[in-house]
Amino acid sequence: MQKIRIGYSPCPNDTFIFDALIHGRIETGELSFSEVLADVEELNRMAVNAELEVTKLSFHAFMHLLDRYVLLHSGAALGNNCGPLLIALEEFPLEEIGSKTVAIPGKMTTANFLLDFAFPNIGEKKEMIFSEVENAVLRGEVDAGVIIHENRFTYAEKGLKDLIDLGQHWEERTGFPIPLGGIAVRRDIDMDVQQEISELIRSSVEYAFEHPEQSLPYTREHAQEMDPEVMRKHISLYVNEYSVDLGTEGRSAVLHMYRNMVHQGRIEESPEPIFVNI
């Protein structure tokens, strides 16, 4: 029995996807899985040291770790109208963003990449846990903040203003869905096992769609105080056909991000394939 540690966040979309895999609802053959739950930026940092055999990570972080990890075709978070938002307590002209202090949910997050994609000459940034960004803006510690995850559904009721949808900006500029986060496997894992893991994650997603009620206890356990309606919206927004399989369009979106980063000199072109063999 080969043991595989798989890292993902406690957010509803991830616990929904991986419930069946972790809790033996699908047959996993000679592979045994255990979860490591952490905030996505912590997972990004762990991936720098290749600590886990399989991990969720921001696509932005993944592009910096192509020598260590290869991307699976299942379990990813891509989509339309689901990207990070730039919010503030009071609206201001976006032309002034270069002089503003902006809270970000981690420098390796895709949210930070999309902020730079929209505003290459942005002013000072402050890193913090994604759940603290709203409060930092409300307290006036920063001029604006980039929010992700369930904060998309809560910022307006706190009186915060949406300055720009960074995901929508990406979609309008590129024509591709927004590549937020993917599931990667360490390159030192046997290629047959890499493919098997990808297929098992696909089976776990399909099981979750077919039996959504079975994942509820696991999802609620880690969603803590999250409103049930927010939890439902969170899952429906971030778990979709790209989570089952990236498909041609999803892979094209990831490749476009990769080529953009190579073109800008942020990363070097990789001699290795980006995706696990289909």
Mean pLDDT of the region 16-33:
97
What is the reported pLDDT for 123?
Answer: 80
Q: What is the DSSP string of 49-71?
A: TT-SSEEEEEHHHHHTTTTTEEE
pLDDT tens column, 138-176: 999 999 999 987 788 888 889 999 999 999 999 999 999
What is the reported pLDDT for 171?
Answer: 96
pLDDT tens column, 85-144: 999 999 999 999 999 999 999 999 999 999 999 998 888 999 998 889 999 999 999 999
d(CA 126, CA 146): 10
Measured between alpha carbons, how far apart are the two ends of the chain, in Å? 24
pTM: 0.91
For residue 278, pLDDT over 70 is answered with no
What is the reported pLDDT for 56?
Answer: 98
Dihedral of CA atoms 39, 44, 49, 55 in degrees, nearest 10, equals 80
Any catalytic annotation for residue 263? no
d(CA 35, CA 6): 5
d(CA 240, CA 79): 8
What is the reported pLDDT for 277?
Answer: 87
Q: Where are the domains of the chain?
A: 2-78+179-263, 85-174
What is the reported pLDDT for 83?
Answer: 86
Q: Catalytic: which of 73, 149, 169, 234?
A: 149
Q: What does each C-alpha distance from 24 to 102, 164, 214, 243 come to in angstroms?
A: 43, 42, 12, 20
Percent over 70 (pLDDT), the chain:
99
Mean pLDDT of the region 211-228:
90
For residue 211, give both structure tokens.
């039996």
d(CA 44, CA 141): 25
Same fold: 2-78+179-263 with 85-174: yes
What is the reported pLDDT for 153?
Answer: 81
Q: Does domain 85-174 have CATH number 3.30.870.10?
A: no
Q: Are strands 85-88 and 144-147 parallel, antiparallel or unpaired?
A: antiparallel
What is the reported pLDDT for 148?
Answer: 87
CATH of domain 2-78+179-263: 3.40.190.10
